[in-house]
């Protein structure tokens, strides 16, 4: 089979449709009776927020291509028009199922556990009085209804904001006949209100949606007029920032300018309460210039993600995951001196099963150590009130040379990163925004320390962000090392990011956009040569997404040659497994569980001389060609065994695993016997305290 045969459309799954399939797998967690009830509610909310981002970025891009008249087809040969139709069909199925799960499954089960969402028809007289006072004192002073007439055109609606369209009759104070008004709900208002649990009619956890309160008392906002109807709606807009890399001379200012427009991008989806009359629906569709294929009529709040607000309000441990304490690697239990521990031996972390605290402590000790001369670090997402950022600020104020490469265009974290850059610059940190045209996605820390008459580099390399909060939610690998060659490689990459000119060849690191893609393809081809010569050959890859066509074709060739290929792909996978004579030796599984699978690992049997790499990069075009990424080798024998042990667990999972089918659907793996094997639970038991 030649290269053109491996480019046949039937060998590829559409990227956008694969992402929607992942969201269906997340929603399935909300139905899983084995999970604690409030965690199932959280999975429902996650599926909603995932879908929001899908429309803001992925669907928006397809719509843009369609409206520009693009005839370019995806590798699976779908035109933009065909893809939009498929997206609409699958997304409507997903939304319908989200609300069915909420209304028919979760709400009844929550009520059985004294957690109630009270509809207006269920309010007692006392509850009605309390909510009316709440409306008058907390809501009415903030709400600003906007009448629609020739002097008051339809307002600009903020992206994903809660709004109401109100149907009216009668005349206002100026004698105007106004039949419609728009009522925006300010984002400062809570979307769910808890009734006081100490009142006689109230249970311990009684909640009312903000939309229900507004519906009940909206008449007070239109004195002298009659409210004929009040219906919630929400519009989703294109939120992908556009920064022209060839035209900008100040990246920070350019990103700030684009952020101001994010709330008013082109409309891509309209959600409306399903009891809204057709006439009003058509009115809104016309105002937003949308067709019905982008309309979603919903039976409940238009933003299910807001239900997450109740999680912290409910003190019911049996309805939540059991708290856990991450473990500490043995090397760090014997000493408090990070540098001493790293000098003795490389330290491998598997978060969140093992604590992220030692990574924070590494930076903190570097900031305080008088022997440390310089600290360099990349920051992609860090979260508010970051202890790592505090340490970097302290280091700079102590007179150390501190350089931070911040990626301003980390999607949906742009504003936070701009604020972070400002704070660091005020502390005299050298702040760099990376390379124009290439997002800096690599996760690296370099500490330069004077030890006697020599300088030693200490390095941290990771697959995930320097974000202590997500380090308890995402699975990632991290490596602390004082290996001379790795340290020199990391130093060279920082020189590349902060200055001009070419950098000499790296010793051990593979780097995008230069060597990583080519090296991975060569390593796949090497496995083919091994199997042809009767040597051990096997490929195991664990990533978030697999999209890049050349990598897919290389894996097809490996399968055709007889190489066993095991792929653990959490989200998007465009490779189609199980095709006779092409991919019948390829298995693709997705793990969806308590923690978000985020680690990237590339393992090659290599004729018995196994090679393992961990990376910040997925197998996507952007990671290979338009981002700065690093892929680092795992060379310590015990660490190699440890990662292979972990991968074996992922391949053994029969409780949280889904297998990709040749038609692009996923089949849940059924346990041989209950309760089945859960990789995340097993790793928590082995590595946690």
Q: What is the token pair recorded at 276?
A: 């809204």
The active-site residue, picked from 350, 441, 598, 639, is 441
| 3-state SS assignment for residue 30 | helix
Short-list 186, 169, 178, 185, CA closest to 151: 178
Q: Rounded to whole angstroms, how far apart are CA atoms 508 and 490?
A: 10
Contact 486, 632 (CB under 8 A): yes
Q: What is the radius of gyration, based on Cα positions, of the chain?
A: 27
Q: Which residue has the tokens 């909060």?
A: 469
User: Beta 115-117 vs 146-147: how paired, if at all?
Assistant: unpaired
- Residues in contact with 121: Cβ distance below 8 Å, sequence separation at least 6, in sequence order: none
User: Beta 538-543 vs 600-604: how paired, if at all?
Assistant: antiparallel
| 3-state SS assignment for residue 685 | helix
Q: Which residue has the tokens 């041989």?
A: 672
Q: Rounded to whole angstroms, how far apart are CA atoms 242 and 264?
A: 13
> Which alpha helices (DSSP H) does 461-587 contain, by range?
484-498, 516-532, 549-561
Element (H, E) at 349: strand 347-351
Is 517 catalytic? The answer is no
Q: Which residue has the tokens 């219906």?
A: 231
What region does 59 belong to: left with phi over 0, alpha with psi -120 to 50, or beta? alpha
Q: Rounded to whole angstroms, how far apart are CA atoms 493 and 251?
A: 21
- Residues in contact with 677: Cβ distance below 8 Å, sequence separation at least 6, in sequence order: 649, 652, 653, 654, 655, 671
Angle of CA points 4, 619, 615, to nearest 5°: 150
Q: Rounded to whole angstroms, how far apart are CA atoms 403 and 424?
A: 9
- Residues in contact with 174: Cβ distance below 8 Å, sequence separation at least 6, in sequence order: none
Element (H, E) at 61: helix 60-67
- Residues in contact with 557: Cβ distance below 8 Å, sequence separation at least 6, in sequence order: 6, 524, 525, 528
Annotated active-site positions, please?
A: 441
């Amino acid at each position: 089979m030649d290269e053109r045969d491996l480019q046949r459309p039937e060998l590829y799954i559409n990227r956008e449709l694969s992402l929607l399939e992942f969201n269906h797998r997340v929603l399935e967690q909300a139905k899983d009776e084995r999970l604690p009830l409030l965690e199932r509610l959280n999975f429902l909310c996650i599926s909603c927020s995932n879908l929001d981002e899908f429309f803001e970025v992925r669907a928006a891009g397809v719509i843009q291509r369609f409206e520009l008249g693009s005839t370019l087809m995806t590798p699976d040969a779908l035109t933009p028009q065909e893809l939009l139709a498929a997206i609409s069909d699958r997304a409507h199925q997903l939304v319908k199922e989200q609300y069915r799960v909420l209304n028919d499954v979760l709400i009844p089960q929550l009520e059985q556990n004294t957690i109630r969402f009270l509809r207006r028809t269920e309010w007692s007289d006392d509850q009605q009085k309390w909510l009316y006072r709440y409306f008058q004192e907390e809501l009415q002073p903030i709400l600003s209804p906007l009448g629609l007439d020739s002097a008051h055109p339809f307002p600009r609606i903020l992206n994903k904001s809660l709004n109401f369209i109100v149907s009216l009759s009668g005349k206002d104070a100026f004698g105007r006949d106004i039949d419609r008004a728009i009522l925006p709900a300010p984002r400062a208002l809570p979307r769910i209100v808890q009734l006081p649990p100490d009142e006689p009619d109230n249970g311990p956890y009684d909640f009312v949606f903000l939309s229900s309160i507004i519906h009940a008392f909206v008449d007070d906002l239109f004195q002298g007029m009659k409210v004929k109807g009040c219906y919630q709606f929400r519009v989703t807009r294109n939120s992908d920032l556009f920064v022209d890399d060839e035209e900008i001379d100040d990246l920070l200012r350019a990103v700030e300018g684009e952020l101001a427009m994010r709330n008013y991008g082109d409309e891509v989806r309209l959600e409306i309460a399903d009891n809204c009359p057709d006439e009003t629906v058509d009115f809104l569709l016309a105002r937003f210039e949308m067709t019905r294929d982008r309309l979603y009529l919903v039976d409940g709040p238009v933003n299910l993600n807001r239900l997450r607000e109740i999680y912290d309000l409910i003190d019911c441990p049996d309805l939540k995951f059991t708290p856990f304490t991450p473990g500490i690697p043995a090397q760090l239990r014997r000493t408090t001196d990070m540098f001493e521990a790293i000098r003795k031996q490389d330290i491998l972390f598997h978060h969140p099963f093992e604590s992220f605290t030692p990574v924070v402590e590494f930076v903190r000790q570097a900031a305080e150590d008088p022997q440390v001369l310089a600290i360099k670090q990349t920051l992609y997402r860090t979260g508010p009130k970051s202890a790592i950022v505090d340490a970097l600020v302290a280091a700079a104020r102590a007179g150390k040379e501190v350089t931070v490469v911040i990626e301003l265009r980390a999607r949906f974290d742009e504003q936070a990163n701009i604020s972070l850059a400002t704070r660091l610059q005020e502390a005299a940190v050298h702040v760099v925004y990376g390379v124009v045209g290439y997002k800096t996605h690599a996760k690296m820390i370099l500490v330069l320390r004077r030890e006697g008459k020599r300088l030693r580099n200490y390095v941290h390399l990771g697959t995930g962000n320097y974000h202590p909060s997500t380090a308890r939610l995402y699975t990632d690998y991290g490596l602390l090392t004082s290996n001379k060659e790795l340290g020199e490689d990391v130093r060279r990459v920082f020189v590349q990011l902060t200055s001009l000119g070419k950098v000499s060849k790296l010793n051990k690191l593979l780097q995008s956009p230069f060597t990583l893609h080519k090296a991975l393809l060569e390593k796949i081809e090497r496995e083919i040569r091994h199997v042809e010569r009767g040597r051990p050959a096997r490929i195991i890859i664990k990533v978030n997404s697999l999209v890049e066509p050349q990598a897919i074709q290389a894996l097809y060739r490996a399968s055709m040659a007889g190489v066993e290929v095991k792929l653990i792909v959490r989200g998007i996978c465009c490779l189609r497994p199980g095709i006779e004579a092409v991919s019948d030796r390829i298995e693709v599984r997705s793990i969806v569980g308590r923690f978000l699978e985020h680690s990237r690992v590339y393992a090659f049997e290599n004729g018995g001389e196994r090679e393992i790499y961990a990376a910040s990069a997925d197998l996507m075009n952007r990671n290979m060609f338009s981002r700065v990424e690093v892929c680092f080798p795992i060379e310590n024998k015990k660490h190699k065994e440890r990662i292979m042990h972990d991968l074996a667990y992922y391949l053994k999972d029969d409780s949280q695993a889904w297998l990709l089918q040749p038609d692009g659907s996923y089949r849940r793996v059924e346990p041989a016997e209950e309760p089945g094997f859960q990789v995340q639970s097993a790793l928590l038991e082995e590595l946690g305290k």
